[in-house]
């Protein structure tokens, strides 16, 4: 999902909104690689698009899925 905000903070709990995102092979591969490197079986991987391409900001081992469930309409429990 995309997290969109009118400010630099894109945290959902800080007022950002979530929007659906169609996963590309590149994005999927990067997220899986980041989770494997950190030895995280279930992870929330924050990735940004920059002038230099996709970059991983962080890997969350205890991700919050509330916004993801809302935007995908999938019960992740």
Q: Is the dihedral of CA 72, 12, 17, 35 positive or negative?
A: negative
Q: Note whether residue 26 is domain-resident.
A: yes
Structurally, the chain folds into a number of domains equal to 1
The DSSP symbol for 70 reads H
Q: Note whether residue 16 is domain-resident.
A: no
Q: What pTM, to 2 d.p., does this model score?
A: 0.75
Q: What is the CATH number of the domain that holds 74?
A: 3.30.470.20
The tens place of each residue's pLDDT in the chain, 77 residues long, gives 888 999 988 888 888 998 999 999 999 999 999 999 999 988 889 999 999 999 999 998 877 777 777 778 888 76
DSSP sequence for 6-69: SSS---GGGT-EEE--PPPHHHHHHHHHHHHHTT-SS-EEEEEEETTEEEEEEEESS---HHHH
**Owning domain of residue 51:** 21-77
Q: Note whether residue 4 is domain-resident.
A: no
Assign residue 73 a region (left: φ > 0; alpha: ψ between -120 and 50; beta: otherwise).
left
């Amino acid at each position: 999902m995309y997290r969109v905000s009118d400010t630099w903070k894109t945290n959902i709990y800080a007022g950002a909104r979530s929007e659906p995102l169609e996963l590309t092979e590149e994005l999927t591969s990067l997220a899986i690689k980041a989770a494997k490197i950190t030895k995280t079986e279930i992870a929330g991987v924050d990735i940004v698009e920059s002038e230099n391409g996709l970059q991983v900001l962080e890997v969350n081992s205890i991700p919050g899925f509330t916004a993801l469930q809302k935007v995908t309409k999938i019960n992740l429990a």
